[in-house]
Structure formats: structure tokens, C-alpha cells
Chains A and B, each alone.
Chain A
Amino acid sequence: MKIILADALTIAAKDLRNELKSKQTSGMMIIFSSLVILIFSFAFDPTNNTVKAIIPGLIWVITIFSGLLGLNRSFISEQENDSLTGLKVAPIDPSSIFLGKVVANLVLVTIVQMLSIPILFLLFDYKFHGDLIWFLLIVLTATIGFIVIGTFLAALAANAKNSEMLLPVLLLPLLSPLMIGAVQATKIVLEQEGITDAISWLQLMAAYDLLFFAACFFLFEYLMEGS
């Protein structure tokens, strides 16, 4: 397991270094999320108090759709020079490729969230009074679930002709339970309602994360074999 983790970190570090140099994916993700926030801030009147109710949903709209851009690229970028074959012939466990990609995607999406969520609050004139620790925990749990299943499906879709179109079609229905939980829990924390309800949603999301992580981790090997 130690070796799998070390190899995963090597792959994640390579992906992040690659991204740091090209800024191809992160640039697109940041521009996309900023545009979504800007368009929504024009579409809805931020001074209207009822508009505040859409903020939890908006956080996840931005995360999912900008994240999709990054997920799409994570395996397609390995097709250039057939680098994925280079990873497959290397003496590493295929699950370390999956773990490495999950870590790299998680870092990218977290950076986008760290930039876009404060901008969202700012443009919607929203003053955060909720519990920051619970809020961060909810965001992190839901993001992990999204990235785990998204990375697995991105690997699955990468070999298809229209992978950019296939990934959202496969991913969005599977994400529904996680997103219902994420939006509800975020709403509870932002509106400072009883935290016990948020904990129930958090437990649901944690169970989703564990279930899909285990399934994707073990199935990834077969996915690589078939690609």
C-alpha cells in the first residue's frame, strides 16, 4: 500500500507540474467559474434576500461544471505520445494511476473552489456567518466523492470518440445523490440551521464516497486492461 501511495504521489506531482507549466486546464476552469458567477450575478438581483437561497446550489454548479473541464483533460492528456501506455508498462499497480489522478484533480478543483466561492459571496453580497469548519468539511466530502467517480468515468470515457460529451452524460446521473446531500448540507450550514441535520447529510456523502472509492479503486485495473 505504501508503494501504491508513493507511486500515486509521483503521478499526481507530474500532473500538477505539467499543469503548472501549461496552465491549460486550470486557466479554463477559473475563467469558466468566474463567468458563471458573473452571469448569475446579472441574472439575479443580489440585493434581493431570496436570491441568497440559490447560493448553496450555485457553489455546486460551479464546482461540477468547472470540474468537468479538468476531469475531461486528465486522461485525454495521457493520450499525447501514448503516455498512458508508458504508465501501464511501468512496474506500478494500476490503482496508483487512479489514486494519482484523483489527487491531482482534487488539488485543481480545490484551488478553483478557493478562488470562486469567495468571489461568489462577494458578488452576491453574502456575509458568511455559518460554521466555517462544518462548511469546509461538507465542501471537501462532496468534492472528494465528485472527483473519485469523475476520475474513474473520465478514464472510461477517454477512449470514446466523443469523450467530452460522454463524461457529463455518464457522470451527472451518478452524482445526483451526492449533490442532493451536498446542496442540502451546504444550505443548512449557510443558513445556520440545526447542525444535526447537516451531519445526516454528511454521513450520507461519506458513505457514498467510501462506496464509490472502493468500487473505482478495484475496478480501475480492469478498465486499464481494456483500454
Chain B
Amino acid sequence: MLELKEITKIIGDKIILRNFSLALAPGESVAVIGPNGAGKSTFFKLAAGLMQPTSGEILLNGEQIKKKTHLLKKRIGYLGHESFLYSALTPLENLRFYGKLYKVKNIEEKGMELLKAVGLHYFKDIPIRSFSRGMIQRLAIARVLLTEPDFLLLDEPHTGLDQEAVSLLNLLIKERQEKGIAILLISHDFEQVIQVCERVLILNKGRVVEDKSIDHQRGLMPFKNWYEAAVSGK
């Protein structure tokens, strides 16, 4: 269970997050949506241990996430805006490097399996500097999945992916969710949010303004209307 309790984050004189609370149970998939500058990425950085909250606490299975909690960090897979990959290295070398840092066993085998899963096994020996944005995103997804985390924090994972890759990513997320992995997703793509997640939070000006379960039967338009009403405060 990942719990954020009464989190407030102030950077300079600006309040980025105000009394933000969230509990994420194993196997649950929650989307965090909201306008630009709402504090979504800051919330992810706090959950990944990249930042410390100004007040409040973040608990992972009851233990507080601090700077030194390496074992807890191992259980979180963080896919950020950037890929965190090295351009001069091949896909397999990148996965091998991160696998070693995360102390993954059978790196070669798992690396090859994941490259096949994301459709990059034919490119395993080519430096990624020649890859397209979508191919790099596929590899970044493989990097996050390699470490077999209990919690997946995905910050706009569908960016740059073609339709085939989007379906593939959604399938991979669903498979992980069925295995009990909790998913936290930031996205502006409401179609994917409806497909992947069961619950959605709307974050606006650092505050949670809505928190509800997604009704998959209702479709995209009612969801968009609900979002616009929540953000505009009507």
C-alpha cells in the first residue's frame, strides 16, 4: 500500500500541492489528471522519492519513504517525462545497466523478454541515438518493467507512441495490474485513462477537486464534460 498523507509541497513562495492525500492498494489503477501546472508531476516526484514534502508523510507498506530507503525505492517503477536512457548505448546495454543498479536477477533473459514484449528485439544491438521518439518510449517502458516493481508510476506513458504501441502498453499495464501491481498514471489522453484505470483524481491548483471510480460504460464524452466542469469549478 502506497499512502500519501496530508502532503503539502512549497517551492519558493509557491504552493504546488496542498494537503494532498491518496492511498493506492495493490492491483489498483488510479489516474491523476488535471490542467498543466496543477502539480501532477510534483506529486509523482514526491511519490518516487525525488523530492521531500514540505509537510505530510509518504508511506510505502507502512514505512516512510526517506532519502536512504533504497529497498523501498526498488519497489517503485518511475517512468518520467524523459526516458532516463543513454543514447550511445544499445537497448540491451541500457537494460543491463539499470538491471544491475536494481539488482535484477537473470538480467539478460529478462531484458530479451521485455525487448520482445515492446517490439524492439530486432534493434537490440543498435545504439538508441538513431531511435524514434516512440521507440525510445517503448524502451523506457521496458526499463521500468525490468525491475518488477510493486508500484508503477507512469507520467504520460502514451506520449509519442503509435496506435499499435498504445495497445501494447495498455496490455502490459493490464497484465501487471492482474499480477497485483498498483498503477498510478498521469495522462492528458482521456481515452487511455478510461481504458487503463479504475479510479480517477482531478488535481487543480495543487488540490484534489474530484476523486471517483471510472464508469467504463459511459464513454469518453461524458468523462470530458465531467472533467471540464470539475476544472472550471461549475
Is the beta-carbon distance between A82 and B81 smaller than 8 angstroms?
Answer: yes
Contact for B89 among A7, A11, A17, A225, CB less than 8 A: A17
Q: Closest chain A residue to B52 by CB distance?
A: A225
Is the beta-carbon distance between B87 and A91 smaller than 8 angstroms?
Answer: no
Proximity bits, A71-108, B CB within 8 Å = 1, else 0: 00000000011110111111111000000000000000
Is the beta-carbon distance between B98 and A88 smaller than 8 angstroms?
Answer: no
- What residues of B have a CB within 8 angstroms of the CB of A90 in the complex? 73, 98, 101-102
Is the beta-carbon distance between A89 and B49 smaller than 8 angstroms?
Answer: yes
Q: Interface of chain B, helix or strand or loop or mixed?
A: loop
Q: In the bound complex, how far is the Cα of B50 from the Cα of A221, in angstroms?
A: 12
Is the beta-carbon distance between A86 and B84 smaller than 8 angstroms?
Answer: yes
Q: How many residues of A contact B (CB 8 A)?
A: 23
Q: Please tell me the size bucket of the interface on B.
A: 20 to 34
- What residues of B have a CB within 8 angstroms of the CB of A48 in the complex? none
Is the beta-carbon distance between A221 and B67 smaller than 8 angstroms?
Answer: yes
Q: In the bound complex, how far is the Cα of B86 from the Cα of A225, in angstroms?
A: 22
Is the beta-carbon distance between B101 and A7 smaller than 8 angstroms?
Answer: yes
Please tell me if B88 contacts chain A, counting CB pairs below 8 Å. yes
- What residues of B have a CB within 8 angstroms of the CB of A86 in the complex? 84-85, 98, 143
- What residues of A have a CB within 8 angstroms of the CB of B93 in the complex? 17
B55 to chain A, nearest CB (A): 18
Please tell me if B76 contacts chain A, counting CB pairs below 8 Å. yes
Is the beta-carbon distance between A83 and B88 smaller than 8 angstroms?
Answer: no
Q: In the bound complex, how far is the Cα of B81 from the Cα of A91, in angstroms?
A: 20
Contact for B73 among A10, A14, A22, A89, CB less than 8 A: A89
Proximity bits, A1-19, B CB within 8 Å = 1, else 0: 0000001001100100110
Proximity bits, B185-214, A CB within 8 Å = 1, else 0: 000000000000000000000000000000
Please tell me if A21 contacts chain B, counting CB pairs below 8 Å. yes
Please tell me if B160 contacts chain A, counting CB pairs below 8 Å. no
- What residues of A have a CB within 8 angstroms of the CB of B85 in the complex? 81, 83, 86
A34 to chain B, nearest CB (A): 24
Contact for A225 among B67, B74, B127, CB less than 8 A: B67
Is the beta-carbon distance between A10 and B97 smaller than 8 angstroms?
Answer: yes
A190 to chain B, nearest CB (A): 39
- What residues of B have a CB within 8 angstroms of the CB of A7 in the complex? 100-101
Contact for A91 among B50, B74, B127, B136, CB less than 8 A: B74
Is the beta-carbon distance between A18 and B48 smaller than 8 angstroms?
Answer: no
Is the beta-carbon distance between A21 and B127 smaller than 8 angstroms?
Answer: yes
- What residues of B have a CB within 8 angstroms of the CB of A83 in the complex? 84-86
Is the beta-carbon distance between B70 and A85 smaller than 8 angstroms?
Answer: no
Is the beta-carbon distance between B82 and A82 smaller than 8 angstroms?
Answer: yes
Contact for B70 among A82, A91, A225, CB less than 8 A: A91
Please tell me if B78 contacts chain A, counting CB pairs below 8 Å. yes
Contact for B82 among A18, A85, A221, A225, CB less than 8 A: A85
Q: A7-B101, A10-B97, A85-B50 are in contact. Are A92 and B70 (CB under 8 A)?
A: yes
Q: In the bound complex, how far is the Cα of B74 from the Cα of A109, in angstroms?
A: 34
Q: Closest chain A residue to B68 by CB distance?
A: A93
Q: A81-B84, A91-B74 are in contact. Are A18 and B89 (CB under 8 A)?
A: yes
Is the beta-carbon distance between B89 and A85 smaller than 8 angstroms?
Answer: no
Contact for B101 among A17, A91, A225, CB less than 8 A: A91
Proximity bits, B89-131, A CB within 8 Å = 1, else 0: 1000100011011110000000000000000000000010000
Task: Name which of B85, B89, B100 has the most chain A CB atoms within 10 A of its CB.
Answer: B100
**A-B contacts besides A11-B101, A86-B85, 9 pairs, CB < 8 Å:** A18-B86, A18-B88, A21-B88, A81-B86, A82-B80, A82-B82, A88-B50, A91-B70, A225-B67
Question: Can you list 27 pairs linking A and B with CB atoms under 8 Å apart?
Answer: A7-B100, A10-B97, A10-B101, A11-B101, A14-B86, A14-B89, A14-B97, A17-B89, A18-B88, A18-B89, A21-B88, A21-B127, A80-B87, A81-B82, A82-B81, A82-B84, A85-B80, A85-B82, A86-B85, A86-B98, A86-B143, A89-B76, A89-B78, A91-B71, A91-B72, A91-B101, A91-B102
